Structure 1
């Protein structure tokens, strides 16, 4: 499995012949829209910074788009989506919006992407369903999503083997990534991409991996 960061909350996950993308950025987003193909797209929040599935090429195949709570399966990938709340990019007069937290199982691993989550807690349903997290994608930028302190609090509760911070590149409060790493003890590894297998996670305990965009 290879994971790359494309700004904001957008991550491409490639495994075998399949490519999955979390929160693709649209051409109307704050950051440049994505320019790659995928088989599966997961949208956590209906906002141009995260809902750019129309920008994805699928090589003539039908793109499988997941944009809300429920259970899904495609090409050996199983997905569970759970309703949560976001405060990111709200229109004037609104106080919250729907956000979906995704738990994705593939290649014997569990990836959890928290989307534009605004509160440092998950529903009882989600907590019961999500267990033994290999990789956690957590927003750290504030500005309508978790800030550094709340992101660290939830990361501790969920006990992932590997943590990938997001919502710090091109969005979020200045120096939010540095603040999050400090909350977590000050140690992180920075890489251009993460190439990983299940066996590589067995000795990890909340290791922070910063993926450059």
Structure 2
């Protein structure tokens, strides 16, 4: 990772795997959410526990996420969702392989060739479906189609649901289906804040996103995975296409915002963070 390398290595250098679990976050304090661009967000509760989900690689023209997470969640191993050390099944930052002197056969007496030990990242990693415990938080992952053809075009993505700081979050990854299956409905029951792709092309488009929103019925929606000046590789639809049908839009001044359960209304407010590193005013 070219842009990310210096920042990430500085963050990770000398880190040992964390062996302790932070206490639960205070619901009164809520959760600070930060949009790093595309589908990448970080979540930090009052205990200082930080989740990072779907970080992109350096082919996506946003600055690399400068965050040291307690848990890394990856919905699928595409370049725009798995660009962080340990995010892909084959680590993007591979440990050096020691070259042996002599005949090149580095094997112990009577044994097989030695292989480098797998890296131990200083955070929990969730990159599959099922029920996981990450940094003391239960994360439920269910499979979803990455397209509207049963996964035949783009494969599959995980959908993650977890509770943090008194809120239930759901990140739909690159979901491309608009009709939820029973297992997906069960996992998504009671979601407070929904992160949903809206740009189409390889995921649901604006209309499909609204179908999912109405079925899941969250209290707040954060759109993601849409076209911007920095995301042009698939010519995704821009955010205004999705917002045409949005009854309650809140343009956020910055890329970071705090969510508290008591501050959320019963209807789905659409929260639109500013592009990373900028300040925005309301856009008509």
In the alignment, which of 35, 39, 55 is matched to residue 66 of structure 2? 35
Q: CA RMSD in A?
A: 2.2
1:180 aligned onto 2:259: no
In the alignment, which of 192, 210, 213 is matched to residue 272 of structure 2? 210
Q: Is the 8 A contact 2:145 2:175 kept in 1?
A: yes
Structure 2 residue matching 1:4: 3-state secondary structure: strand
Cα separation, 1, equivalents of 2:199 and 2:187: 26
Structure 2 residue matching 1:6: 3-state secondary structure: strand
Structure 1 residue matching 2:37: 3-state secondary structure: coil
Shift of 1:55: 7.9
Matched residue, 1:112: 170
Shift of 1:196: 1.5
Q: Is the 8 A contact 2:197 2:225 kept in 1?
A: yes
How do residues 1-213 of structure 1 correspond to structure 2 at under 5 angstroms?
A: 1-15=31-45, 16-27=47-58, 29-32=59-62, 33-54=64-85, 62-87=122-147, 95-168=153-226, 169=228, 170-171=231-232, 173=235, 175-185=237-247, 187-191=248-252, 192=254, 193-201=256-264, 203-213=265-275
For structure 2, the 5+ residue unaligned runs are 1-30, 88-119, 276-284
- Structure richer in strand, relative to its length: 1
Q: Is the 8 A contact 1:31 1:49 kept in 2?
A: no
Cα separation, 2, equivalents of 1:109 and 1:30: 30
Pick which of 43-52 and 168-177 moved more: 168-177
Cα separation, 2, equivalents of 1:97 and 1:140: 18
Q: Give the greater-gyration-radius structure (CA).
A: 2
Flag as ranges the 4+ runs of structure 1 deviating above 6 A.
none
- Structure 1 length-normalised TM: 0.86
For structure 1, the 5+ residue unaligned runs are 89-93
Shift of 1:107: 1.9
